[in-house]
Structure 1
Amino acid sequence: MELPPKPDESDCCNSGCNPCILDVYEEQLRKYKNKTLNTKESTKKNCMSLTTYATFELIKRVEHTADTCLLTFQYVDKENIYCNSCEQLHLIYKPGQHFLLKGHSYYYKDNQFTRAYTPIPVENNDLLSFTIIVRLYEDGNMSRFIKKLELNTLTLWRGPYGDFEISYKFNYILLIAQGTGIAPIFAVIHDILRNEECETFLKLFFCCRTERDILLRNELYEFSSFWNFSYEVFLSNECNVKCKYNEVIHSNRLDVNAIKTYVEDKLNKNVQILVCGSEIFNQDMLEKVLSCDVDRERIFLF
C-alpha cells in the first residue's frame, strides 16, 4: 500500500457525495499508517486512485436500449499523453466495485457533482480501460453531462469503492437485480463463471419494467449456456413478451413466493443472496428475503 496522495480542497464538490474524497483520504491515510511490515504489495500500480481524480478519455459509445448506452473510457497519462505501454500501471478493481465520475454543469462550471458507476466486463478492453452501462434520464445533472460528452472528451474518475468480495464457500448464490443494478451483479456472475474450479450454482432474478428494458439480455443468454447459471426476468409493465429459447420471463413483479420457492430447500446448503437496485428496491428485497428465514449475514446489498 502506498502513501495516498492528498487531494486538493477544490476536489471536494460540496454536494454531499458519498464517499467524500476528503473522508476517503483520511481513511486511506489511517490504513497506511497502520499497515504491517509483512503486507505483500502488488508490483502493479493502480492508475485510478481513491483520493485523487485520474483522467480517462471517452473512446467508445454504443447505444444499448432507448435510454441506456455503453461507454468505454481509456486511461490518459497527463505527462505521457497515453499510457498503454506503461507496464507498471493497471486499472485494478474487484468485481462489483464502482468508480465515481465527476461531472459539472455546462452553464455553471462551479456546480460539480459525482455519481457512481460499476464497470462491466467487456471483451477486447485492455488493462487500462473500462466500460459502464448508463441510463440517461430526461432530467438530472449527470444525465445532461453525459449526453453532451463527445468521443475523445477527457473525464475525471476516482475509485474503486465497495467492500464486496466474492466467496466461493457457498453452494448456491441467488442474485437479485433491478435495472442498471445489473452492472455489479453481471460482473460477479462473469467472474464466477470464468472460474473453472467453482461449483457454485448461480440464479439471477432480474426485475425490469418492459422487455425493452432487459439490459445485457444477449450476454445473460450466453451465460445460460454454463451448467451452473440460469436466470429469470420479472417485468412489471408488460404482458406480451417474445422469449428466447428456454428463456424464462414473467409478466409480474418479483414476489416473496418466487424467492421462497428458490431458497426453501437450500437454507442448510450455504446459500448467499446478493441484491442491487434502488434503495427502496434493496430494502424491499431485504425484507422479502429475511421473511424466507435467510440469515442476515448471508445477504449482501450493493
Structure 2
Amino acid sequence: MGSGVNPAVQELLEEIARAKARAEARRQQRDADAHQQYGILRRADGTVELREPPAPVAPEASDCCHSGCTPCIMDTFREHLQQHERQVQVLREQYQRALAEGTAAGSVWHEPHGAPCGILDPLKFVAVRVMHVERGEYWRMFVLEATSSDFVLALGEHIHIRAATGSSGGVVTRPFTPVVVEDVAGLPRPHLFVRLYDSALSRYFAGVAPGDALSVRGPIETNEDLTRAFSGPACVLVAGGSGIAPIFQIIRFASLNAAYSGKRIVVVHCARDASGLWLRDEIARLADALPHMSYHPFLSRDASDSAAPHRRRLSAAAIRQLVGAETGARAVVCGPGTFNSAVAGWLRGAGIDDVQRL
C-alpha cells in the first residue's frame, strides 16, 4: 500500500478548509458591519453624507446542501439582495430630499439598514434566551436576553421563530416583530408581544418560561416599502393585537426623520382589553418629535375601561370620522387576516385607496 493520502479524502479536507475560510470571512464582515453606520449621516460641519450599505455576499454553489431546505440559502441571498436594492433606492431618494431641503432640515437616518449584526443570523436559527415573561389572559410578553446593539431590526424587518408544537414532532415557523424598548431596569432590550389563539403555536408560547430559549432567525424583511405610507398628505396606521409592533417600527422611523415631523399621522390601535394596548406609552413619548400624530385606542371587549376614550369596536364609521376628508392619504394595516380585510375595506370606503396590509 502506498503512503500517500487518499485523493478523495484530500479533496474533502480541502473543501472543508475552504468552507471554514468562507464562514470566517462572513463572520468578519458581519462584525465590521455591526459597528458601521450606513444611511444619511450628518458630518461635523453640518453637511450630510450618503453612505450606502454594502451589497450582500453571494454564497458559493457548494454552500447549498441540496436537501430541499425552505428557504434555501440561495433563496435567502436573493431576498437579501432585493432588500439591499430597495434600501439603497430609499436612501438615495432621502438623500436628494435632504440636499433639496438644506442640511438643517435634512432627513438623517442612523439605522444600520439591515446589515446583519449581533446575535441574529439571517441564514440559520440561533437560540435567544427569555429573561422575563408577562402573562395576560390572551397574550404573552417576552423580554429577550439581548441588547439594542446585538438585536437590530430596521424598518420593515422581522424575525422567524421556530417551535416544536407537539409530541408528534411537528415544527412550526412563523414571523414576529420584536421591538427594542426599555425594560423595568431602564435597559433597552427586545420585547416580543404574542397574541394567543386556539393553535398549537399559541399553546407553545403559553408555556414558555424565563430561562427558556426561543429559536430565532433574522433579520428578514417584508416585501413592502413602508416608506410609501408617508408619500401622501396623511398616513393612517391601523394595528390589531400584536400588529402594533410593525406599526411602532413605522412610527419610530418617522420620529427619527426630520422630513416627516410635519406629517399628519393617525394611529389606530385595537385590542381586546386595555391590557393588550402594548406600546401606547412608548408611542406617547414619540409625540414631541411628531406633533401632528394622533393616537386612538379601541377595545373590543372591555367597554368600561377608561384607558380607551373610544370604548367600542373599531368600525367603518369610526374610520371615516378619524380620517376625515383627507385626499390622497396612505394607510398601513397590520393584524390578523380577517381584521386586515375588514379594515382595508373601511379605509377604501373613507377614500383611501392605497392600503398596505402586513
Question: Do Structure 1 and Structure 2 share a fold, with TM-score over 0.5?
Answer: yes
Percent identity between matched residues is 21
| 1:3 partnered with 2:58 | yes
TM-score by length of 2: 0.62
- Decide which of 67, 74, 82 is 1:25's aligned counterpart: 74
Question: Residue in 1 aligned with 2:34?
Answer: none
- The offset of 1:187, in angstroms, is 1.8
Q: Deviations over 1:51-73 (max 9, x none)?
A: x3231321422316343232233
| 1:293 partnered with 2:351 | yes
Q: Distance in 1 between matches of 2:114 and 2:201?
A: 35
Question: Residue in 2 aligned with 1:56?
Answer: 127
Q: Report the RMSD for the aligned CA atoms in angstroms.
A: 3.5
Contact kept in structure 1, 2:126 and 2:215, CA below 8 Å: yes
- Decide which of 220, 227, 233 is 1:166's aligned counterpart: 227
TM-score by length of 1: 0.72
Greater Rg, structure 1 or structure 2?
2
Contact kept in structure 1, 2:143 and 2:191, CA below 8 Å: yes
What secondary structure does 1:249 align onto? Answer: coil
Q: Which amino acid aligns with 1:65?
A: G
* Structure 1 residue runs without a partner (length 5+): 13-19, 76-83
Q: Check 1:218–1:11 CA distance in 2 against 1; reply closer, same or farther (3 A cut).
A: farther
- 1:164-203 matches, cutoff 5 A: 164=224, 165-167=226-228, 168-198=230-260, 199-203=262-266
Q: Check 1:31–1:71 CA distance in 2 against 1; reply closer, same or farther (3 A cut).
A: closer
Which has more strand, going by share of residues?
1
- The offset of 1:152, in angstroms, is 4.1
Q: Distance in 2 between matches of 1:131 and 1:206?
A: 18
Contact kept in structure 1, 2:195 and 2:242, CA below 8 Å: yes
Which has more helix, going by share of residues?
2
Q: Check 1:4–1:259 CA distance in 2 against 1; reply closer, same or farther (3 A cut).
A: farther
- The offset of 1:204, in angstroms, is 1.0
- Decide which of 266, 273, 277 is 2:326's aligned counterpart: 266
| 1:230 partnered with 2:294 | yes
- Decide which of 168, 178, 203 is 1:144's aligned counterpart: 203
* Structure 2 residue runs without a partner (length 5+): 1-55, 90-111
- The offset of 1:290, in angstroms, is 1.5
| 1:105 partnered with 2:155 | no
What secondary structure does 1:28 align onto? Answer: helix
How many corresponding residue pairs? 265
- The offset of 1:234, in angstroms, is 1.9
Q: Which amino acid aligns with 1:204?
A: V
Contact kept in structure 2, 1:58 and 1:71, CA below 8 Å: no
Question: Residue in 2 aligned with 1:208?
Answer: 271
